[in-house]
Structure 1
C-alpha cells in the first residue's frame, strides 16, 4: 500500500492557513501599530507595578509634614497630598494595587462564569433555560449595586473587593462562554470525542474549554480595564480599599476635596486610569482582530479588487446558466421516458454467517413544535457481518447519516427512534442511557467523519487526542497509552509516528489527518467502524490510499465497516455489499457486483445512469423529477 508523507514544507503550509495560530496572530499584531502601542503601554505599567519599591522615591505610607499639599518640587515631582504623602510614590504603588485587584477580579469572574457558561451551553435544555433566566436577572441589576451589597455585608478589604468586582463580571463571562459553547458543541471534534467514549466532563473541560482560550483572552483584557474602573469608582466613594492602601480612586477622592485650591492633584491618578483602561481596551480589540484575521492590509485589498469579476464575466455566467437550465429540462424529459413506472422487488443477498450489527424495523421521526411527527427513516432493516464492508449509498437527505447517528445514540434534539432495534454483537442499543452508551462508543463502535481537520481538536496535539480514549477504554497509564498511540499511528501509515505525536492537526495534510482520525476510531478496538463520508473531502490519490488502508485494516482486525458515501466509485472499489437509500427508505441491498451490473430498482438504475462517464457527454446530468417509493411506484410531486 502506498502512503504519503508530510515534510516540513507541507506541514507548514496548513499552519500558515490556521487563522487562530499563535504565529499568525503575532504576525497580524505586528502590523497593528495601535495594538503594539497598547502592548508597550501595558508592559510599562506592569513593570512599574512590579518594581514599585525600586522606582518610587518614598514608601507609600511615608509622610512629610513640612510639605503638606505642596506643589511639584525637586523632592516631590508631583507634589504631596493633605497628609504629606508623595503623590508620585502613591501613583506608582497604586498601579500595583490596580493590577492586583483587576487581575484577581477577572480570575474570580472566570472561575464563576466560565464553568457556568460551559455547562449551560453544553447541556442545553432545562439547564440552559433556568441558567439563562438567572443571567438575565443578574444583568438587570446594576453592577455597582452588587459591589455595594457585597462590601456592606463582608466589609472592606482587598480580597473582598476582588470578590465583589469578580461577581459583577461573572455573568458576562458566563453569557459569552455559553454562546460560544452552543456553537462548539455542534462541531465534529466534539462529536468525535463523544463517539470516542469520553465522559461529558472530559469533553467540556478537556476539549471545548481549550478552544475558548482566544475569546477568553479578548474578554479578559477588556474586563481587566473595566475592573480597574470599578475599583477606582468604589475607592473614590470610600467603599473600596482601606485608606492606608494606595489606589487611584482613593487619590481622586482626596483630590476632589481640594479641587479648588489644588486642582493639579486630580491629574496624575486621572491620567493613569484613562491611559491604563484605554490601553487594555485597545489590546483586547487588537487580540480579537489578530485571532479572527478581521483586518486586511492594503496589499490584500488591492489583490482582492484585482480578482473581482468584471461585468462582462457576470453577463457571460448568466447566459451560461440559462443554457444549462434549458439542457436540464431536456434531460429530465429524456429520463422520464427511459425509467419504467414499476420495478421488481427488493433484492437482498443472504445474511453473513456471523452478523455483528443488525438494524431491524428502524423508524426515526422528528417532532415538530406544532406536534406533527415527521418520519425521517421508515421501517429499515439491515445487517452487517463481521469482516464485511457495507456501503450505504443515497442522495443528501436520504437518511444515511441519520441511521448512523441512531446506531451511535447521537440523534439531534427533537429527533428520536420511534420503533425498531439495533443489536451490536447481540446487545440491544436502543433505549440505553447516555452512561451506558458511553462504554460502547469508541470501544465497540468507532466513527470517522467527513472533514479530517474539523474532526480533530485544533488546540490539542495528535498524541493527546489518541491517548485520551486509550486511557478511558483500556485504563492504561499515560506512558503506556502514548506508546500504544504511536503504534496506532504507525499501523495507519503515519511515518515517524513517535515524533509526530507532539504535532497539531494543522501540521498534517488532509490524508494524514484522516489517518489520524482512523487511528483514534480504532483506539478502542471496535467491532464496527462507521465511515461517514470519510473520503469525500480528499483528493483522488489520497482517497484511494485511505480506502486501501480501510481494506487492510478490515483484513487485519476483522471488523465490520459501514461506508456512507455519495461516490459510486468508492462503493465499487471498497464495499462488499451496497444498500441504496432514498427518502428514508431502503430500496435495494445487493452485492456490489450484482448491484452495478444488474440493478433492480428503478431509482438504482437512475442513480447509476447519472454517474458521468467519458463516452456520455451532456451539459447537465439527468435528474429524477418525481418521488419513488420502495416498491418502485413513481408518484408525481
Structure 2
C-alpha cells in the first residue's frame, strides 16, 4: 500500500469560506450556546429578571401598593433604595414587581401570536393555491398597519387591563409568525419526507402538525426570543402613554411615565426602569441571535474561517489493486447518469415512436391505461410530459421503468400515487388498482390507498424521513394509522420490520434519529416504513442511485427477498441498466414521455425491439473496449 502526503491551501476567503452546519440535535445546539459569551451574558440577565418575577414577594422589601406618606417623593434611603413616589410607594419594590408584569405580558402576547400565526402560516404554505394568495394579501395589509396604531384601536375598543394588553400585542405579532411559518412551509412541503408521509397514509392535518410543524421549532424559537423583547418594549411604550396598564398595576412603562412627569426635580427616577427595559430587551435580542447561530452553525463557520490561507497536510492512502467493488461481476452495468451518454438530441433519437406495450393480464395489480400528463404554461398552453402511457405490473412481479433523466419516469409514478407537483396535472387516462380507477375519484380517495395498498421509496434515503422525529415514532404512527394497534404493539411491529429489512439492534435503533443512520441503513428504514402498511405495490423511485455500489447491491437483494417473502409487486424506476438487468422481470423503456417498448428483461437486453432501446444499450462501454468511442 502506497501513501502520498500533500499540502493543500484552504481556498479564497471570499469565494470558498466554509458554510455553517445545521445543529443535528438539541444537545449540539446547547453546546454551541455554551461557547457564545454574549449569549451567556444575555441568559444571566434574563435569569435575573425571571427570578425577580417569580420570587417578587420574597425579594421586594414592600408590597407594591404599600404607602408611606413620610417618604413621599424622597430620594434613595436605607429604607427605600430607589426612593418613593408621591403616595410613598417604594420604587424598588415596583421595579421588582414590574419584572413580573413585563414577563407576563411578553410571554402571553408571544404565545397568543404563535397560536394564531403559526397554524395560519402552516395551512397557507401547505395548501397553496387561492388559499395562499388570499392569505398573503391579508398578511400584507395587516403588516402595513403600524403596530402601535393597532394597540391603540384595541385598547380604545376593549379598555385597559393586562389581558387586553396581551391580546393587543399578540395581534400585532401574529402576522409576523404567520409570514415566517408560511415561508418555511413552502420549502418544507417540497421535501421528500412530506411525500413519504403522504404515501404512507397520513392525512393533511397529520402532515401539517406532526411532520412539518416540528421543523419550525428552531426558527420559531429564534423569533419568539426576539419578539419577547419587542413585547416588553410595546408594553412599556403603551404604559408610558397611559394606554397600557392601570395605575395600580406596577410596570416599567408606568414608572417611566411617572419619572418623566417629575424629571425636572427628580431626574434620577428614570434610571432604574430605563436600564431594566434596555437590558432586558437587549438580552432577549442577543438570545435570539445566539439561538440562531447555534442552530445554523454560523458562528462555528466564522471560527473555521480563521483557517483560510493556512496550509493543511493531508495524507491519502491508495487502495490495493482489486479492492474496488464491481457490479459488473453481478450484472451488466452502465453509468448511472445515462442522460450524458444516451441519445438525448433529436438527431440521435428515432424519427417515429411506436409503442410495443404488452396487454394487461387478469393478475395485474396496478394498470395504467392511456396515461397523459401535462404541465400548464404561463401562456395558457400545455406541455406534454407523459403521452398515453400504458403500463401494468402483476402480483409478485418486478417491472422496471427505464430511461434517461427527464424522460418522464417519475411523472408516471407520481401520477399513479396522485402526487403530481403544482402546475402539472393528469389530463386523461386511468390508474386502475385492483380494477378501481383512482384517477376518477377525488384526491382524498386517491390518497386513502397510499401507505396501505400503495407504498413508495424515494431516491434520497435521508430526505425520505422526517429529521425531527425518531425512526420509531415515524414507524409507529404509520402502523397505528393503518392497523389500529396499541403503541406497545406498534413499537414491537416496528422493530420486526427493521429486523426484516436488515437493520441490526432494531429496538435500540428505533430511538435514534435519521441523521444517526448511514445512507444504506436510512434506505432500509425507508423501505421498512413503506412496508408498514403492507402494500400490494411498492414503487421504488431511483431507490439505489444515491448509494455506493456495495450498499446498492445489498438494497437490491433486499427488494428481491421482500418480493419472494411478501409476494408484492414492485415498480423499479431507474436509469441504471445494471439495476434493471439484476432485479426486473419486465422492463418498460420511456423516451420523452412515450413508452417506446415493453418486454421481458432478457428480450430487452438481448434483442431490443426499438431503435432508442438499442442505442441506450449501446451507450454502455464494455470493459474490453476501453478505447472505444461511445455511440450516440
TM-score, normalised relative to structure 2: 0.88
1:264-302 per-position Cα deviation (integer Å, ceiling 9, x unaligned): 001100110000001101110111111111224565214
Deviation at 1:419, TM superposition (A): 1.4
Structure 2 distance, partners of 1:205, 1:335, is 43
Q: Which residue of 1 aligns with 2:443?
A: 434
2:298 match: secondary structure: coil
Structure 2 distance, partners of 1:585, 1:341, is 12
Q: Which residue of 1 aligns with 2:156?
A: 152
Structure 1 distance, partners of 2:343, 2:156, is 83
Q: Which residue of 1 aligns with 2:287?
A: 283
1:325-357 per-position Cα deviation (integer Å, ceiling 9, x unaligned): xxxxxx999999x98977996555675561111
Q: Which residue of 2 aligns with 1:320?
A: none
1:132-168 per-position Cα deviation (integer Å, ceiling 9, x unaligned): 1111111111111211121122221111111111111
Structure 2 distance, partners of 1:429, 1:451, is 27
Alignment of 1:499 with 2:508, yes or no, is yes
Q: Which residue of 1 aligns with 2:490?
A: 481
Distance 1:216 1:54, change over 3 A: same
Q: Which residue of 2 aligns with 1:260?
A: 264
Q: Which residue of 2 aligns with 1:46?
A: 50
Q: Which residue of 2 aligns with 1:389?
A: 398
Alignment of 1:223 with 2:232, yes or no, is no
Structure 2 distance, partners of 1:282, 1:115, is 27
Structure 2 distance, partners of 1:23, 1:116, is 30
Structure 2 distance, partners of 1:106, 1:352, is 61
Alignment of 1:468 with 2:477, yes or no, is yes
Q: Is the 8 Å Cα contact of residues 342 and 619 (structure 2) preserved in structure 1?
A: no
Alignment of 1:363 with 2:372, yes or no, is yes
Deviation at 1:428, TM superposition (A): 0.6
Structure 1 distance, partners of 2:415, 2:349, is 34
In the TM superposition, what are the counterparts of 1:71-90 in structure 2 within 5 Å?
A: 71-90=75-94
Q: Which residue of 1 aligns with 2:182?
A: 178
Q: Which residue of 2 aligns with 1:128?
A: 132
Distance 1:415 1:547, change over 3 A: same
Distance 1:570 1:335, change over 3 A: closer
1:366-399 per-position Cα deviation (integer Å, ceiling 9, x unaligned): 1112111111111211111111111111111100
Q: Is the 8 Å Cα contact of residues 574 and 580 (structure 2) preserved in structure 1?
A: yes
1:495-542 per-position Cα deviation (integer Å, ceiling 9, x unaligned): 222232221111211111111111111111111100011111111111
Distance 1:302 1:148, change over 3 A: closer
Q: Is the 8 Å Cα contact of residues 580 and 587 (structure 1) preserved in structure 2?
A: yes
Structure 2 distance, partners of 1:334, 1:201, is 45
1:66 match: secondary structure: helix
Q: Which residue of 2 aligns with 1:202?
A: 206
Q: Is the 8 Å Cα contact of residues 335 and 622 (structure 1) preserved in structure 2?
A: no
Q: Which residue of 2 aligns with 1:520?
A: 529
TM-score, normalised relative to structure 1: 0.88
Distance 1:80 1:475, change over 3 A: same
Shifted more, 487-496 versus 197-206: the winner is 487-496
2:116 match: secondary structure: helix
Structure 2 distance, partners of 1:17, 1:470, is 33
Alignment of 1:446 with 2:455, yes or no, is yes
Shifted more, 62-71 versus 277-286: the winner is 62-71
1:77 match: secondary structure: coil
Q: Is the 8 Å Cα contact of residues 110 and 173 (structure 1) preserved in structure 2?
A: yes
Q: Which residue of 2 aligns with 1:12?
A: none
Alignment of 1:574 with 2:583, yes or no, is yes
Q: Would you say how many aligned residue pairs link Structure 1 and Structure 2?
A: 586
Shifted more, 489-498 versus 456-465: the winner is 489-498
Structure 1 distance, partners of 2:466, 2:301, is 29
Q: CA RMSD in A?
A: 2.5
Deviation at 1:614, TM superposition (A): 2.6
Q: Is the 8 Å Cα contact of residues 20 and 292 (structure 1) preserved in structure 2?
A: no
1:483 match: secondary structure: helix
Of 16, 19, 22, 2:26 maps to 22
Distance 1:495 1:18, change over 3 A: farther
1:144 match: secondary structure: helix
Q: Which residue of 2 aligns with 1:244?
A: 248
Structure 2 distance, partners of 1:111, 1:300, is 39
2:70 match: secondary structure: coil
1:254-273 per-position Cα deviation (integer Å, ceiling 9, x unaligned): 00110000000011001100
Structure 1 distance, partners of 2:466, 2:386, is 31
Q: Is the 8 Å Cα contact of residues 345 and 600 (structure 1) preserved in structure 2?
A: no
